[in-house]
Amino acid sequence: MASFKRKLSLQSALAIVVGGVIGSGIFMKPAVMASQLGSPWLLLSVWVVAGIITLFGALSNAELAALFPETGGQYVFFQKIYGNGFAFIYGWAAFAVFNTGGNASIAYVCAQYINYFVRLPEFDAATAHALRLHIPLTGDLYPLENIGTKSVTIFIVLLLTWISYRSIAYGSGLQRVFTFLKALAILMLIAGVMGSSKGSLANIHSTLPDAPGGWSLAGAYMLAIAGAFWAYDGWNNITFVAGEIRNPQQNIPRSLFVGLLFCIVTYLLINLAYSYVLPVDRLAASRFVASDAANAAWGKTGGMVIALIVVISTFGTANANILATARVTFALGSTSRFLSAAGKVEPRYHTPGNALWLNAGWTIVLIVSGSFDMLTDMLIFVSWFFYGMSALGVLMLRKRMKTAERPYKVWGYPLVPLVFILFTACFQVITLVTDISQYRSGKTPVINTLLGMLITLMGLPIYFLFGRKQMKRMG
């Protein structure tokens, strides 16, 4: 298979991890989580628990990435562990659902907050609903909804794709800059809110009158963890570019460990700031919790500050995702006749040019067809299934490849991967049941998890159609 040059340093790897994780979730999920739990202390604990579980999954994947330091990440792992068929389904799902869906959803949030500064034109309700696409067993899609926001989202995707197409050095350099700006802006937000005289430590100790207890609390806690998992997602991007990282056996585990620890501490401090300045009832009822916290601390200028921080944060995350996820499409094209053009290295710039533009094209289709909530629910459900299968693969390879040299071994084996697998299974069940319940109650027009499963299973006939015998292994 064609290969790339190893140009990414440890600093670039850290920027990809942190930049890929800290996006929009921390600015949108805490209010819902607070309403589910009814207690700031429980809210803070959720971010720690979800962060530790995510770290367990990342460290499990790091063992595989150090063992197989090749471009493509989990696609490579699954070929080695489960064979070509499973790897193909993963590569198809990555292309059709969660990688491109993640790119679309993050860029969409960036465009939403740009709307704070520049009012984007939109169709009226009648026109927006004039075009309806019905998908059997899942629901309806309205492509003309939020057309102004979708147009800016498409521009962001095309711009960042072009940058990564021209050079991985350009893309990684931009990532380092925006990760630095993002971290600086968030730390200034935390310091400004915590240092204001408008908050009170008593807010952190308050609880909602109808806060759940007993088994209801256990269910609410798992739902809140599911929200935190979305905010922690993106750590796996670093494995996709493993073939372009210098000294990957050491730099991948280091970047995942240090990067995710930074994210856990940052998320904990941000939620502490929210809880400090907002009473729990206001926190739970907030639609834009970060803006409300900034407004409480700084007045009307707070909303503008938060909007700028979100734009910086999501733009950097979109860049990290677009740069990294095209490598999975490249790996899929390199080992099968399906999307074979995507498996070619661009001769002038030494980048996966075709894969980048192919991802961009499908991302645009998802942008036009969906919304933020649909995309996030769909991609998280599918991607976490494969995260769990990666951790299971660590256990399998320890028995199958006992004598293989492992430059990095996951700490706390086998407990760490086992805990991650268990949490992944619980997360899958809860997400599916909740999504079906919301659809039946009329809260969502589409059963997002089933739509993600449907698109993923479409990979089966494609795999047989394009000749499973023609597939070859990586490396």
> For residue 208, what pLDDT is reported?
82
- 40 has pLDDT over 60: yes
- Number of helices and strands (H, E) in the chain? 22, 2
- 467 has pLDDT over 60: no
The Cβ of residue 387 has, within 10 Å, a number of other Cβ atoms equal to 25
pLDDT in tens, 276-299: 988 888 888 887 788 788 888 887
- 113 has pLDDT over 70: yes
- 445 has pLDDT over 70: no
Residue 161 phi/psi, 5° resolution? -65, -45
pTM of the model: 0.81
- 139 has pLDDT over 70: no
| 371 confidence band (pLDDT: 50, 70, 90) | low
> For residue 444, what pLDDT is reported?
64
Work out how many domains the chain is built from and give that number: 1
The answer to the question of residue 367 being in a domain is yes
- The region of weakest confidence among 122-126, 182-186, 338-342 is 122-126
The better pLDDT of the pair 218, 221 is held by 221
CA angle, residues 91, 93, 95, in degrees to nearest 5:
70
The answer to the question of residue 147 being in a domain is yes
HSE, CB side, 13 Å, CA atoms: give it for residue 212.
18
What average pLDDT does this structure show over 426-438?
A: 79
Percent of the chain exceeding pLDDT 90 equals 22
The Cβ of residue 369 has, within 10 Å, a number of other Cβ atoms equal to 17
Structural domain span for residue 63: 10-470
CA angle, residues 159, 306, 204, in degrees to nearest 5:
135
Q: How far apart (Å, rounded) are the C-alpha atoms in residues 356 and 440?
A: 38
The answer to the question of residue 158 being in a domain is yes
What average pLDDT does this structure show over 321-347?
A: 85
The answer to the question of residue 1 being in a domain is no
The answer to the question of residue 146 being in a domain is yes
The answer to the question of residue 2 being in a domain is no
> For residue 202, what pLDDT is reported?
82
- 30 has pLDDT over 50: yes
Nearby residues of 343 by Cβ (< 8 Å), 6 or more positions away: 1, 2, 330, 331, 332, 333, 334, 335, 354, 355
The answer to the question of residue 5 being in a domain is no
| 195 confidence band (pLDDT: 50, 70, 90) | confident
> For residue 289, what pLDDT is reported?
80
Q: What is the CATH number of the domain that holds 54?
A: 1.20.1740.10
> If we measure between CA atoms, which residue out of 223, 187, 193 comes closest to residue 42?
223
The answer to the question of residue 3 being in a domain is no
Q: With contact defined as beta carbons under 8 Å apart, do 206 and 40 qualify? A: yes
> For residue 1, what pLDDT is reported?
47
Q: With contact defined as beta carbons under 8 Å apart, do 176 and 15 qualify? A: yes
> For residue 124, what pLDDT is reported?
73
